[in-house]
Amino acid sequence: MCGRFSFVAEDAIILERFGIRVRTAIYKARYNCAPTQNLAVISNDLPGEIQLYRWGLIPSWAKDASIGNRLINARAETLTEKPSFKNAFRNRRCLVPATGFFEWQRDTEKAPYNICLKSREPFCFAGLWDKWMATDGEIIHSFTIVTTTPNALIEKIHDRMPVILNRADEKRWISPQPESSLVDLLRPYPGEMMEAWPVSKLVNSPRNDVPGIMEEYSMIG
């Protein structure tokens, strides 16, 4: 799964990497992105902008917003089957920019790890989004992150990982395409191009949205 990530990049780097000029009022560096927060996405609806969507997909047909708490991830293997995701997979895809993500190793008292590309460059998760209207008229845009089986690096930590898109495939993901032509993108990112290191349990609390949570932490002693 993917339950926490970071997106920390200077405006100039975001412009160079994604071709998007950032409005400071919209974007700020986030070290500990967590479910239910409003976070940066690039949607197929407005591909030239960074927008803030709530993490945790709320399908348009949902009776209340609480369903989003359970839909922070969508398994790649069942996107075309699950009612919560199949329409979004067909019509509402997004990129979720990130510079790293956190995962908890299950067999070591849930020790957290920070995981990123060896190049330390920003990347994008494959995401889906939806628009939901509350009974009082409030509209919430929300998203989920697609997950897949782990690569050789991640499988030492967890049995799932987020789908990280190759840079060349990002525009394809948010362009009009039949779902069948996108399935090949939902594969594990090469483990040899990634690295991971243990971090402190400060990351467990979303309140700790500070650079220090990304630093390597010794589990000995």
For 65, other C-beta atoms within 10 Å of its C-beta total: 16
* Catalytic member of 94, 103, 116, 170: 103
Q: Is 2 labeled as catalytic in the residue annotation?
A: yes
Q: What's the rounded Cα separation, in Å, for the pair 41 and 47?
A: 9
Judge residue 9's burial from the number of C-beta atoms within 10 Å of its C-beta, 0-12 exposed, 13-18 middle, 19 or more buried.
Answer: buried
SS3 82: coil
DSSP β-ladder status, 194-198 and 111-117: antiparallel
Q: Is 57 left (phi over 0), alpha (psi -120 to 50) or beta?
A: beta
Q: How many alpha carbons lie under 13 Å from residue 1 in its C-beta half-sphere?
A: 13
DSSP string across 56-81: S---TT-SSGGGGGG-SEEEGGGTTT
What does the angle CA 99 – CA 101 – CA 105 come to, to the nearest 5 degrees? 155
Q: Is 94 labeled as catalytic in the residue annotation?
A: no
Contacts of residue 189, defined as CB under 8 A and 6 or more positions apart, other chains included, come to 151, 161, 163, 164, 166
* Catalytic member of 2, 33, 94, 124: 2
Task: Tell me which residues are annotated as active site.
Answer: 2, 103
